[in-house]
Structure 1
Amino acid sequence: MRRVLITGASRGIGRAVALAFAERGAAVAVHYASQHVDAAETLRLLPGTGHTKICADLGDPEAAREMVARTVHDLGGIDVLVNNAATAPSAETRHAVADVSYEDWQRNWRRMVDVNLLGAANVTYCVAQHLIERGSPGSIVNIGSRGAFRGEPDFSAYAASKAALHAFGQSMAVSLASHGISVTSVAPGFVATERQSPKLAGPQGEELRAQSPFGRVGTPEEVAAAVLYLASPEAAWSSGTVLDVNGASYLRT
């Protein structure tokens, strides 16, 4: 049985990833920061046994270390890490440079970098140390973003943190290969999560669907399928890759 830690798994992409692993017999640790009710629902939905949920603010380095230690205790070890937790774009985190105060600019940059990049880096360090000490192979999958490549004018800190996460993952792929640990990233486009339902149902919905030639947006389950593959032993030779999952809505050269 594989043991999987998924950060930011209370709903959306994280929940879909948790379900996908549990449906294939894995024991899953559901991390959440504040959405206790949603995390409990994710845990309830998981088939099988041996799952756990853990609350931690990944913007706090010590909380990140304690989360990994508790996961190792609860699951008996960690074989797969999915770095999904992030401070995401929203009306509250919008920080277009032309119309945001310097104080709000600083606040948004600090929070997004602390969680999206440094949080993922700290959790990766702790899980990698655990795997190295065990002498076991493992997989780390980062959830990045299409925005890392195309830019996010109203959420520059988000785009920058995700671009840095991709680069961090590639550095770790080289660093950890000799220990049998693969590191990859997924870069989703717009995904139909619960949080995005109002946008899709409102005036923006048509424009968002038109971004892809498929005429729709992605689903959490499609991102989860990509994560499952990249975390599999068969994908070890893909270590270092950044896989676009955006329905051809943005093509990199």
Structure 2
Amino acid sequence: MENITIDKNQEQKTQPGKEFNMNPEPVTIRDSYKGSDKLKNKVVLLTGGDSGIGKSIAVHFAREGALVAIIYLNEEKDALQTKNEIENEGGQCLLLQGDVKNEQFCKEAIDKTISNFGSLNCVINNAAMQFPTEHIEDIKIENLHTTFETNIYPYFYIVKAAMKHLKAGDTIINTTSVTAYRGSEHLIDYASTKGAIVSFTRSLSKSLAEKGIRVNAVAPGPIWTPLIPATFDGEKLENFGKDVPLGRAGQPAEVAPAYVYLASEDSSYMTGQVLHVNGGEVIGG
């Protein structure tokens, strides 16, 4: 992928952000990516699947033959565009609009996926929010609650509801972050939730190993998604991603294949692990 020039005059006022307003728009999938039925007829439920990394995962999974159910908060235009792109891949897409902070909605999302597709083989927990602050004293308690209730609580809600449908050979994939490993002085609460996701992944993998259900995670670095213009100012947008060894922001299309790997038989001897797609930052774990 080539370096991108990010328009610094595109701050968005609400989270998790809208992809159709981004300049440049993220790259969802490379034309050179060839599907090979790695996930043929597998049913996947994906939170935060309307845009960014989630959208890219959904389109890659569709190209690999999966049937996709997408949970999104309120980004109707992005969600419909993602559904259209999945259908252009010859796939099927179920859109589920709602708030993952609500446990009852998460249960209903699982039920609707089963009702629509008849089974469930892969759960991907991906939805997130972040509220940058310069100092811990500046963190608003309301935002602290929203961050934890969006970024980690739904992982429990979704998995608990999915367990009666998952069986040996099925997979759970969680989206953590490079910030869980190196920390982030302006995203203390967000990084804390991402650290919790690492521990959740490791603990759940041990719990479900005897059932043959594998649990892994992906820790993206600076990836160009709607969450970025929705949370950072113009100066940070202009320099976003330039501090990693590869010297640029990553594209969702560079992250999503890691999820394909973790959902497919290619990773059959992997559980409790985290894949680091971060532009070259060497970190522990």
* TM-score where L is the length of structure 1: 0.89
Q: Structure 1 unaligned segments of length 5 or more: list them.
A: none
For the pair 1:25 / 2:65, whether they are aligned, the reply is yes
SS at match of 1:238: coil
How far off is 1:116 after superposition? 0.7
Which residue of 219, 223, 228 corresponds with 2:255? Answer: 223
Q: Structure 2 unaligned segments of length 5 or more: list them.
A: 1-40
Match of 2:112 in 1: 70
Q: Which amino acid aligns with 1:71?
A: T
How far off is 1:70 after superposition? 0.9
Query: How far does the alpha carbon of each residue in 1:132-172 deviate from its partner, in whole angstroms, 9 at most, with x for none?
Result: xxx44201110110111111222211111110011001111
8 A Cα contact 1:50 1:75, kept in partner: no
For the pair 1:9 / 2:49, whether they are aligned, the reply is yes
For the pair 1:110 / 2:151, whether they are aligned, the reply is no
8 A Cα contact 2:223 2:241, kept in partner: no
Which residue of 67, 80, 85 corresponds with 1:40? Answer: 80
8 A Cα contact 2:46 2:125, kept in partner: yes
Q: Flag the 1:211–1:203 CA change in 2: closer, same or farther, 3 A.
A: same
How far off is 1:204 after superposition? 3.3
For the pair 1:94 / 2:159, whether they are aligned, the reply is no
> What is the distance in 1 between the residues matched to 2:262 and 2:106?
23
Q: Flag the 1:247–1:98 CA change in 2: closer, same or farther, 3 A.
A: closer
Q: How many residues align?
A: 243
Match of 1:191 in 2: 223
Segment drifting more, 175-184 vs 198-207: 198-207
Match of 2:126 in 1: 84
> What is the distance in 2 between the residues matched to 1:206 and 1:95?
18
Q: Flag the 1:252–1:49 CA change in 2: closer, same or farther, 3 A.
A: closer
For the pair 1:59 / 2:91, whether they are aligned, the reply is no
8 A Cα contact 2:241 2:250, kept in partner: no
* TM-score where L is the length of structure 2: 0.79
How far off is 1:178 after superposition? 1.1
> What is the distance in 2 between the residues matched to 1:200 and 1:117?
22
> What is the distance in 2 between the residues matched to 1:211 and 1:60?
37
SS at match of 1:204: helix
> What is the distance in 2 between the residues matched to 1:106 and 1:209?
29
Q: Flag the 1:94–1:204 CA change in 2: closer, same or farther, 3 A.
A: closer
Match of 1:125 in 2: 160
8 A Cα contact 1:97 1:105, kept in partner: no
8 A Cα contact 1:8 1:31, kept in partner: yes
Match of 1:139 in 2: 171
8 A Cα contact 1:200 1:206, kept in partner: no
8 A Cα contact 2:177 2:194, kept in partner: yes
Query: How far does the alpha carbon of each residue in 1:59-89 deviate from its partner, in whole angstroms, 9 at most, with x for none?
Result: 11111111111111112111011111111x3
Which one scores higher on RCO, CA 8 angstroms, separation ≥ 6? Answer: 2
How far off is 1:198 after superposition? 8.6
Q: Flag the 1:194–1:105 CA change in 2: closer, same or farther, 3 A.
A: closer
8 A Cα contact 2:217 2:273, kept in partner: yes
> What is the distance in 2 between the residues matched to 1:98 and 1:199?
17
Displacement over 4 Å in runs of 4+: 197-202
